Amino acid sequence: MQVNLLEFWPKILEATNETLVMVFIALVLACLIGIPLGIALVVTRDQGLMENRPVFNTLNIIINFFRSVPFIILLVAILPITRFIVGTSIGTAAAVVPLVFFSGPYIARLVENSLLEVNKGVVEAAEAMGASTWQIIYRVLLPEALSSIVLNITIATIGLVGASAMAGFVGGGGLGDLAITYGYQRFETDVMIVTVILLVILVQIVQTLGNYLSKKLRRL
Amino acid sequence: MIRFDQVTKTFEHEGGKLTAVDQVNLEIKKGEIFGVIGFSGAGKSTLIRLVNQLERPTSGRVLINDQDLSALSTRELRGIRRNIGMIFQHFNLLETKTVYHNVAFPLLLAGTPKNEVKEKVEEILDFVGLKDRAKHYPDQLSGGQKQRVGIARALATSPSILLCDEATSALDPETTKSILKLLRKVRDEYNITILMITHEMNVIKKICDRVAVMEDGSVIEQDTIFNLFSNPQHPTTQKFVQSVMNDEIPASILSEVESRHIYRVTFNEGTAGKPILSSVAKKFDVDVNVLYGQITELQHIPFGNLVVEFQGNQEEILKAVNDIQQAVRIQEVKVDAS
Ligand SMILES: Nc1ncnc2c1ncn2[C@@H]1O[C@H](COP(=O)(O)OP(=O)(O)OP(=O)(O)O)[C@@H](O)[C@H]1O
Ligand SMILES: [Mg+2]
């Protein structure tokens, strides 16, 4: 067993690195898509700052669609798109695409919820001061919701860590891939245990960091 | 200054329409503290929101300095709004910002240079008595302090109008008093026109110059504080006046009005303190017996309300009443009159 782990150690390090890279890139891209979408949902809804029913309904349906497909199916279903975007359907880069499709809409929903929690009275006060719609979004809604958004994105990040483990299915690499190829398929139980422990630690770190950041952001 | 000209606001909702403000005409003068009172759902908030066009009128016009607001573009409207401060029942402060940055916020929106912002914010925080709280966050303040921040924020852009929607309704009586005092100081020192909405007659009585009473979207009565309190016409107005004046005649007296000669005498400015009752008692062959009453002050004018009984023969009593009528208001108390 000792021998075994020593032998696998470089592989484990590499896999950890792959997981971190995968999650990080997917997270950044998902935020770039999800945060504007979340804002769009809030401002176009009934009584929103830029009420627009067709836009709201369209976004709503698209987001619900992606939210309702299980990740493992999404992973396979969008293989052609993945191939189109990154030129291949296997490897770490290829795994990022389904991860973004998976967590982008999720983040949109979470951001929507955070923004809806902002006291309507504060928005009204800003309107009364002569704030433009963009000023309200940028100077009121986002700063007031930031702490809650960070907490929600923490949840999404942890979801991403879990999903990235499944990306092993498309040979995406990372800790999940390692656990499946060695631990599950070749019965190297200790490798599996180590990867699971690393995943647990990773999730703990993400949550702790998220909580800390969120608390800091309650006072800007 | 602010003029409502046949203003109506109708909300459409599933199943019908609701007229929240119904053909309202009002004129509020520069530097005046104008109150609007009404029960819940009377349309007060909708009315005040029409002034800064948070609600657009369905018909009619709202004019500020003779400028029709409904004719303005969104951009022009934003400029006008900087000239109209607003404070709220629940303060509506930015929770993530310090007191300083809350007050600076409208200046930031207006693109004011930083050094000017600093100067202005410090001046206003001093004015509202929160200089030492600049670095605090709203959750570290009491309700009264939060409303002071709200007032400071509303004044930051040096507006000429201040709208107050139930500004003291979430505060205890002592804090309410201090906030009302501050609002009066705002008017006196900056000559700002204040439109204040409330369902508490106490607030109206303490601070307003004139008042309008709203019911079901309409203004049912409007007058100076003194006239409205001393001579309320509409039953709803009377109810509001009674809530602070308590001029209801006790039941024990009321049960005997048929057999006795009971009158209500209303004193005001010129007459409070004059010995009108004792002089008629000397002049005519009647005895005057005060049954019940109170004297208070409205806008620094003493105002009183006495329920008196005349004893003597019918003719002398009528003469006495006629005599009093020359000087003050006197009405016979009848059972149905209450
Ligand atoms: N945005 C809206 N959509 C539909 N109906 C509305 C809207 N705003 C107000 N109303 C309705 O208009 C009427 C008047 O409301 P408003 O808030 O002006 O009353 P108010 O006098 O301020 O009452 P309160 O003392 O409870 O604040 C109410 O019946 C209310 O339900
Ligand atoms: Mg209201």
Do residues B235 and B108 both lie within one domain? Answer: yes
Task: Write the pLDDT tens digit of every residue in A4-53.
Answer: 667 778 888 888 898 999 999 999 999 999 999 999 999 999 989 999 99
Q: Does residue B83 surpass a pLDDT of 90?
A: yes
Atom of ligand 1 nearest to the CA of B46: 18
Q: Does residue B32 surpass a pLDDT of 80?
A: yes
pLDDT score, position B306: 83
Residues of A in contact with B52 (CB under 8 A): 128
Atom of ligand 1 nearest to the CA of B42: 21
Ligand 1 binding pocket includes B14 (Cβ within 6 Å) = no
Q: Does residue B246 surpass a pLDDT of 90?
A: no
Residue B53: CA count within 13 A, CB half-sphere? 25
- Cβ distance A143 to B94 less than 8 Å, yes or no, reads yes
Residue B337 lies in a domain: no
Which structural domain range is residue B290 located in?
Answer: 251-332
- Report the residue from B79, B95, B109 with minimal CB separation from A135: B109
Do residues B236 and B258 both lie within one domain? Answer: no
Give dist(CA B332, CA B313) in Å, integer.
Answer: 16
In DSSP notation, B190-216 reads: H--EEEEEES-HHHHHHH-SEEEEEET
- Report the residue from B84, B96, B157 with minimal CB separation from A219: B96
Domain finish residue from B243, B277, B299: B243
- Looking up residue B206, the CATH number of its domain turns out to be 3.40.50.300
Residues of A in contact with B157 (CB under 8 A): 129
Task: Write the pLDDT tens digit of every residue in B12-21.
Answer: 988 889 999 9
Cβ burial A161-171 (10 Å sphere, 16+ → b, else e):
bebbbbbbbbe
Residue B170 lies in a domain: yes
B138 Cα–ligand 2 center, Å: 23
B259 burial class (0-12, 13-18, 19+ CB within 10 angstroms)?
Answer: exposed
Do residues B169 and B139 both lie within one domain? Answer: yes
Do residues B136 and B79 both lie within one domain? Answer: yes
pLDDT confidence tier of residue B132, bands split at 50, 70 and 90: very high
Q: Where are the alpha helices (DSSP H) in chain A?
A: 2-44, 53-68, 71-77, 79-86, 92-116, 120-128, 133-135, 142-166, 174-178, 189-216
Ligand 1 binding pocket includes B41 (Cβ within 6 Å) = yes
Nearest CA to CA, how far is B19 from chain A (Å)?
19
Give dist(CA A174, CA A191) in Å, integer.
Answer: 13
Do residues B41 and B188 both lie within one domain? Answer: yes
B193-198 and B210-215 beta bridge pairing: unpaired
Give the length of chain A. Answer: 220
Spatial strand order of the sheet with B261-267 comes to: B286-298, B301-312, B261-267, B329-332
Instruction: Considering every ligand atom shown, identify the ligand nearest to the alpha carbon of residue B55 and give its number.
Output: 1
Residues of A in contact with B81 (CB under 8 A): 127-130
- Looking up residue B258, the CATH number of its domain turns out to be 3.30.70.260
Identity of residue A63: I
Please indicate if any CB of chain B lies within 8 Å of the CB of A47: no
Residue B338 lies in a domain: no
Give dist(CA B177, CA B302) in Å, integer.
Answer: 20
Quickly count: other Cβ atoms within 10 Å of residue B152's Cβ: 27
Quickly count: other Cβ atoms within 10 Å of residue B239's Cβ: 13
For chain B, how are helix, strand and coil distributed in percent, rounded to 5? Answer: 40, 30, 30
Domain finish residue from B215, B243, B271: B243
Do residues B292 and B328 both lie within one domain? Answer: yes
- Cβ distance B92 to A125 less than 8 Å, yes or no, reads yes
Residue B206 lies in a domain: yes
Task: Provide Rg for chain A, Cα atoms.
Answer: 20
Percent of chain B with pLDDT over 70: 96
Do residues B228 and B157 both lie within one domain? Answer: yes
Domain finish residue from B222, B243, B264: B243
Task: Write the pLDDT tens digit of every residue in A143-179.
Answer: 999 999 999 999 999 999 988 888 766 777 888 888 8
Please indicate if any CB of chain B lies within 8 Å of the CB of A155: no
Residue B23 lies in a domain: yes
B10 Cα–ligand 1 center, Å: 10
- Contact assessment for residue B164 and residue B194, using Cβ atoms and an 8 Å cutoff: yes
Higher per-residue pLDDT: B215 or B250: B215
Task: Provide Rg for chain B, Cα atoms.
Answer: 24
Do residues B163 and B294 both lie within one domain? Answer: no
Nearest CA, atom 4, ligand 1: B11
Give dist(CA B166, CA B151) in Å, integer.
Answer: 13
Q: Which residue has the tokens 């004015």?
A: B127
Please indicate if any CB of chain A lies within 8 Å of the CB of B292: no
Q: Which two tokens stand for residue B62?
A: 């709202």
Q: Does residue B337 surpass a pLDDT of 70?
A: no
Nearest CA, atom 2, ligand 1: B11
Q: Is the ipTM of this complex over 0.85?
A: yes
Kindly list the structural domains of chain A, giving each domain's residue range(s) and its CATH number in brackets, ordered by start: 5-219 (1.10.3720.10)
Q: Which residue of A has its CA nearest to B97?
A: A220
Reduce the DSSP state of residue A172 to 3 states and report it: coil
A54 burial class (0-12, 13-18, 19+ CB within 10 angstroms)?
Answer: exposed
Task: Write the pLDDT tens digit of every residue in B133-187.
Answer: 999 999 999 999 999 999 999 999 999 999 999 999 999 999 999 999 999 999 9
pLDDT score, position B333: 76
Do residues B22 and B111 both lie within one domain? Answer: yes
Do residues B173 and B271 both lie within one domain? Answer: no
Do residues B256 and B117 both lie within one domain? Answer: no
Give dist(CA A7, CA B30) in Å, integer.
Answer: 86
Reduce the DSSP state of residue B129 to 3 states and report it: coil
B207 Cα–ligand 2 center, Å: 19
The domain tally of chain B equals 2
Q: What is the pTM of this model?
A: 0.87
Do residues B294 and B316 both lie within one domain? Answer: yes
B191 burial class (0-12, 13-18, 19+ CB within 10 angstroms)?
Answer: exposed
Atom of ligand 1 nearest to the CA of B55: 1
